[in-house]
Structure 1
Amino acid sequence: MKIKMIWRAIAGAFAFAALVNAAQAATYVYVSNADSEDISVFRLDQSSGALSKVETLPVGGTAMPLALSPDHHHLYAGLRSKPYRVLSFAINPLDGRLILLKTSSLAESMAYLSTDATGRYLFSASYGGNLLSLNRIDASGLAGDPQQVIPTGPMAHAIRSAPDNRYVFASVLGSDAWLRLKFDAVTGQLTQDAVPAYALPPKSGPRHFVFSPDHRFTYLIDELDGKLHVLAFDAANDTAKPVQTVSIVPADFSGDKPWGADVHLTPDGRFLFASERTSSTLASFRIDKKTGTLTRIGTWPTEKQPRGFNIDPSGNYLLAVGQLSTQMSVYRIDKQTGALTALEHYPVGKNPNWIEFARFEGTL
């Protein structure tokens, strides 16, 4: 009964939001804070890049990976403290506040969450459990309990569906492998290929990866050797082959070892950014759209140990957090050069590590 009442309220909010003028379109920012066990919520001013605080929501556990539904109406948060859970939130489009609708179990402590293209399935990768898992998402956008668990090599780190949703790919740090799994979107079953889609050099430590907006390339960052790989992606066959490998560390890098973390592209596919935790820097690259190859633009200092950052849907702003910082930096992205300009810092919780954006457009 309580869930039905909440859903009626949410439905009313979405109906009202449909009447909002286009000038009142809103972008909301969600930051998971592991050690303070909460999620920071902000509203992003698209004209200036300024953030206004919406709320700080306690979640009762070590909040780390976040994932948005394709329609941005739901946010899923993975808790890496026992009992391992995924929280299904509705996003109020009027103010960005989160409404907890359901708590379900996860198969292990998950380092990464993502949904398939339909929003009907939640994928997860476990670094400590050495596995991948799948939870079904019902028609109301609520994640259920694990439906399938697939063992991997050591330290599975990220999992994402290919743009066509026919296959799912996963990086496994400890076995230096980028796996391909056939995905049946009707039954929700994953079937792993006998050999990896791409085998990396020993002790590379593949971590996060993204597909280019035109689906022709994949960009895969290593954690252990400070490298970033460009793979030509054959969308017809969901296969990949290497094109280029570049370094993400600064030219004056003096740390004991690199520590790559996150990678994101601007929505127009012109620029790529990568974070490196030992030097606490963000590296920027220009992308050749024909070949997919990267040319370094520059390196910018950022929050200490930048495990997570993200780029807003407009491509105008980059937001970054650091595991050893309790603030978030906002940068403007120059759309002609790919250079970053630091704008402001905003307080967040302890050990912030993941950022997601939800964008709602006006309709009139």
Structure 2
Amino acid sequence: MVTRSLSVLGAAIGILLMQACSTPPRSVAYVANADSREISVLALDGAGAVKPLQTVPVSGTVMPLALSPDQRFLYAALRSEPYTVASFAIDRSAGDSAGQLKAIGQAPLPDSMAYIATDKTGRWLFAASYGGHKLSVSPIGADGVAGAAQQILATGKNAHAAVPDAAGRHLYVTNLGSDQVMQWRFDAASGALTPTEPPALALRPGSGARHLVLHPNGRHAYLLNELDASVELLDIDAQRGTLTARKHWSSLPPGFGGKPWAADLHLTPDGRHLYTSERTTSTLAMWKVNATTGELTLIGHQPTEKQPRGFRIDPSGRWLLAVGQLSHQMSVYRIDADSGRLAPQTTLILGKNPNWVEIVQLP
């Protein structure tokens, strides 16, 4: 009898352990609300539902956000004077406060920055200034606090994004007004940037290089051009750190006759699908990625929030969160792993002018 009871108890424990192991990690999203000067902290559950966890006030117009590689810290660039970067610690506990933010520091930035990103080590913060035509490198302390810039470099016209490669050896800076992507070698020990040879990739005049994502295979990158709403396939020379433009596609819906205004792009973690946003039509274009060639096949267009400047795919690759600058809310979409199509799940009202999304996964 005792043996049977122990057997039943063991089976029950085994089932509970299996259920615990199959429970997806908790995801927490951070949304920059520019005009209400706050960051929304949101819980995303396994069914695609989102709920507010925290609203964090900041001292200026908050736009680009960036996560540290270990997802322990969040950085926010404030684009109203005085230009600063705010540093936050992310609560990694297993309690109700998991994912919430704690302000730990603030430091000056040399200009209004349209984009920020950390390097692979988490010791450096890159920032690109659209209006100032410059790039800065700021040190990040062991405590996770970003300091004042130690290197400021001139770029082409309208620097829009600063994207480090996965190896931590190179940095790519898009220049919308100069139709180019600048290419830099990066020394993670000193934080120094030096130009490659050639120092930039020239693109089609009037295309308007905006945002860039690197494919996880390390061989391809995708560039979204703001002014003609095209997606450019780039080949990467990983050794030299240089890019070569190979082919481009329009991201606009059929019959579009207005002024293009493309905004953002992201790949699923497995690199099988790409998504791009366009603000004039308020749509998300869905793309299938050829694993061998990197070429794209357009799947279709998903209507989304009004003026979708920013969106993000969660680390599991199951959910896409898009925010609308003019709708002041978020839409959550389920990503079909096979087709890549988006299925609307829920919406949530946010602060004023939500424009940037970052997502972490917690145990």
Q: TM-score, normalised by structure 1?
A: 0.91
Residues 243 and 293 in structure 1, CA contact (< 8 A), matched pair in contact too: no
Superposed CA deviations along residues 256-286 of structure 1, whole A, max 9, x for unmatched, are x111100000001000000001111000000
Residues 284 and 339 in structure 1, CA contact (< 8 A), matched pair in contact too: yes
Alpha carbon RMSD of aligned pairs, Å?
1.3
Aligned to 2:16: none
Structure 2 residue runs of 5 or longer lacking an equivalent are 1-19
Q: CA deviation at 1:240?
A: 1.9
Q: Which has the higher contact order (CA 8 A, sep 6+)?
A: 1
Residues 28 and 42 in structure 1, CA contact (< 8 A), matched pair in contact too: yes
Determine if the alignment matches structure 1 residue 321 to structure 2 residue 320: no
Aligned to 1:272: 274
What is the alpha-carbon distance in structure 2 between the residues aligned to residue 22 and residue 57 of structure 1? 32
Q: Percent identity?
A: 51
Aligned to 1:340: 342
Aligned to 1:253: 256
What is the alpha-carbon distance in structure 2 between the residues aligned to residue 188 and residue 317 of structure 1? 34
Q: CA deviation at 1:139?
A: 1.1
Determine if the alignment matches structure 1 residue 188 to structure 2 residue 204: no
Aligned to 1:111: 114
Q: CA deviation at 1:237?
A: 2.4
Counterparts of residues 35-46 of structure 1 (less than 5 Å): 35-46=35-46
Q: CA deviation at 1:242?
A: 2.0
Q: TM-score, normalised by structure 2?
A: 0.91
- The letter of the residue matching 1:96 is G
Superposed CA deviations along residues 197-231 of structure 1, whole A, max 9, x for unmatched, are 32111111100000001111000000101111001
What is the alpha-carbon distance in structure 2 between the residues aligned to residue 357 and residue 62 of structure 1? 20
Q: CA deviation at 1:167?
A: 1.2
Determine if the alignment matches structure 1 residue 126 to structure 2 residue 129: yes
Determine if the alignment matches structure 1 residue 61 to structure 2 residue 64: no
Larger CA Rg, structure 1 vs 2: 2
What is the alpha-carbon distance in structure 2 between the residues aligned to residue 235 and residue 150 of structure 1? 23
Aligned to 2:27: 27
- Distance change >3 Å, CA 238–CA 195, structure 1 → 2: closer
Aligned to 1:308: 310
What is the alpha-carbon distance in structure 1 between the residues aligned to residue 82 and residue 21 of structure 2? 43
Q: CA deviation at 1:21?
A: 7.8
Q: CA deviation at 1:252?
A: 2.3
- The letter of the residue matching 1:93 is R
Superposed CA deviations along residues 81-131 of structure 1, whole A, max 9, x for unmatched, are 000000110001232110000011111000000000110000000001110
**4+ long deviations beyond 6 Å:** none
Counterpart secondary structure, 2:148: strand
- Distance change >3 Å, CA 24–CA 331, structure 1 → 2: closer
Aligned to 2:290: 288
- The letter of the residue matching 1:311 is I
Residues 134 and 146 in structure 1, CA contact (< 8 A), matched pair in contact too: yes
Residues 177 and 196 in structure 1, CA contact (< 8 A), matched pair in contact too: no
Structure 1 residue runs of 5 or longer lacking an equivalent are 1-19
Counterpart secondary structure, 1:146: coil
